[in-house]
C-alpha cells in the first residue's frame, strides 16, 4: 500500500515560496486497469508527470524544488497541480523542454479521455452482446422445483480469454496529432529517452506510424514477456492505432 513518512519542506526557484511535499514510505501503483498510453484508472498513485504551478504563476516540475528540511508535520501548502484546462497555457509558457514534455504528457492523457469514454461504452455493449448470445445458447432448463431446491447446477457465463474484441474508431483531432507529434520530438531528444521507451512506441502507434512503432518496441530495455510489450506487439501487427485498456 502507499504510505507516507512526513514532509519535505522545499522552496520554488522562481520566487522562493515554500511548500510541503509528502514523503513516501512506500508506493503502490496498483490500479483497476491500465491504458497503453500510460494512463491508470483508479490508481493509488498520481497519474500526472510532476507539473505544478507556483503561487506566482510560474510552471515548474516538483522534482526541481529546492529541498530545505524534513519534518513530520507541516501546515505549508502543497504546490498546485495543473488543471487540464490550464495545460495549453503551461505548454505555451514552459521555460524549458522538460516542463513542456511533462505538460504535453498530461495533455496527451487528457485528450485521450474522450476516446476512453467511447471505448468503455463500446466494450460494454460488445460484452453484453456476447453474454446475451451465450445465454441464448445455454438456456436454463431446470424445472421450478430444481430452481427452488438448487438441486441442479447450471453453467455460469465467463469471459473467454480468447474472445475476439473490437474497438471503436480512433480518429485523433488536429490538436491531438499536433500535441503527439511535438511530444514525440521532445521524448526522442530527451536525456531520459530510455525512461519513455513505451511512450515513444505508443505515440508512434497512435499517429499511425507502425513501422517506427515496431522499431521503437524492439529498442525497449524492459521485460519482453510483460503484458504491455505483448499487447503492443499485437496491436502494431494489426495496425491498430487506438489506445487500449488492459489489466495485469
DSSP string, 3-37: EEEEEEEEE-TTT--EEEEEEEEE-----SEEETT
Q: What pLDDT band is residue 85 in, cutting at 50, 70 and 90?
A: very high
Mean predicted lDDT score pLDDT of the chain: 90
- For residue 119, is it within any domain? no
Strand, helix or coil for residue 1: coil
Res. 4: pLDDT tops 90: no
Q: What pLDDT band is residue 125 in, cutting at 50, 70 and 90?
A: very high
Which pLDDT score is estimated for 172?
A: 97
Instruction: Evaluate whether 85 touches 114 at the Cβ level (below 8 Å).
Output: no
Q: What is the pTM of this model?
A: 0.88
Strand, helix or coil for residue 68: strand
- For residue 170, is it within any domain? no
Which pLDDT score is estimated for 161?
A: 62
> Average pLDDT, stretch 80-103?
97
- For residue 185, is it within any domain? no
Alpha carbons 169 and 91: distance in angstroms, whole number: 28
Establish how many alpha carbons lie within 13 A of residue 84's alpha carbon, considering only the half-sphere containing its beta carbon: 9
Which pLDDT score is estimated for 167?
A: 93
Q: In terms of pLDDT, which residue wins out, 140 or 93?
A: 93
C-alpha cell at 233: 506487439
Res. 247: pLDDT tops 80: yes
Question: Which residues, 6+ apart, have CB-to-CB distance to 222 below 8 Å?
Answer: 197, 198, 229
Q: Identify the domain containing residue 18 by its residue range.
A: 3-82
- For residue 49, is it within any domain? yes
Nearest to 242 by CA among 35, 84, 39: 35
| CA 103 vs CA 14, 88, 120, 186: distances in Å | 18, 8, 26, 11
Which pLDDT score is estimated for 123?
A: 92
Q: In terms of pLDDT, which residue wins out, 172 or 135?
A: 172
Question: Which residues, 6+ apart, have CB-to-CB distance to 21 below 8 Å?
Answer: 7, 8, 9, 10, 62, 65, 78, 79
Q: What pLDDT band is residue 27 in, cutting at 50, 70 and 90?
A: low
- For residue 30, is it within any domain? yes
- For residue 9, is it within any domain? yes
- For residue 195, is it within any domain? no
DSSP string, 75-104: -SPPPEEPPGGGHHHHHHH-SSHHHHHHHH
Cβ atoms < 10 Å from Cβ of 45: 13
> Average pLDDT, stretch 170-175?
97
Query: Do the strands 51-53 and 80-81 form a parallel or antiparallel pair, or are they unpaired?
Result: antiparallel
- For residue 116, is it within any domain? no
C-alpha cell at 6: 512526513
Alpha carbons 216 and 204: distance in angstroms, whole number: 8
**Tens-digit pLDDT profile for residues 50-62:** 999 999 999 999 9
> Average pLDDT, stretch 16-31?
84
Nearest to 49 by CA among 114, 3, 94: 94
Which pLDDT score is estimated for 130?
A: 83
Name the domain count of the chain. Answer: 1
Which pLDDT score is estimated for 24?
A: 84
Q: In terms of pLDDT, which residue wins out, 160 or 62?
A: 62
Amino acid at each position: 500500500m502507499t504510505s507516507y513518512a512526513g514532509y519535505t519542506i522545499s522552496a520554488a526557484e522562481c520566487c522562493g515560496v515554500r511548500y510541503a511535499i509528502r514523503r513516501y514510505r512506500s508506493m503502490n501503483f496498483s490500479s483497476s486497469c491500465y491504458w497503453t498510453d500510460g494512463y491508470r484508472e483508479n490508481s493509488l498513485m498520481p497519474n500526472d508527470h510532476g507539473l505544478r504551478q507556483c503561487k506566482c504563476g510560474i510552471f515548474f516540475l516538483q522534482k526541481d524544488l529546492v529541498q530545505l528540511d524534513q519534518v513530520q508535520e507541516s501546515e505549508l501548502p502543497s504546490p498546485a497541480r495543473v488543471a487540464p484546462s490550464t495545460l495549453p497555457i503551461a505548454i505555451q509558457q514552459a521555460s524549458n523542454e522538460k516542463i513542456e514534455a511533462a505538460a504535453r504528457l498530461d495533455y496527451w492523457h487528457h485528450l485521450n479521455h474522450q476516446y476512453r469514454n467511447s471505448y468503455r461504452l463500446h466494450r460494454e455493449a460488445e460484452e453484453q452482446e456476447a453474454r446475451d448470445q451465450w445465454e441464448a445458447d445455454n438456456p436454463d432448463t431446470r424445472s421450478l422445483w430444481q430452481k427452488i431446491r438448487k438441486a441442479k447446477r447450471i453453467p455460469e457465463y465467463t469471459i473467454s480469454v480468447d474472445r475476439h474484441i473490437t474497438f471503436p474508431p480512433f480518429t485523433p483531432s488536429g490538436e491531438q496529432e499536433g500535441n503527439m507529434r511535438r511530444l514525440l520530438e521532445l521524448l526522442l531528444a530527451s536525456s531520459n529517452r530510455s525512461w519513455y521507451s513505451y511512450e515513444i512506441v505508443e505515440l508512434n502507434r497512435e499517429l499511425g506510424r507502425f513501422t517506427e512503432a515496431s522499431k521503437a518496441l524492439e529498442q525497449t530495455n524492459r521485460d519482453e514477456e510483460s503484458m504491455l510489450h505483448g499487447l503492443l506487439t499485437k496491436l502494431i501487427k494489426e495496425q491498430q492505432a487506438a489506445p487500449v485498456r488492459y489489466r495485469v
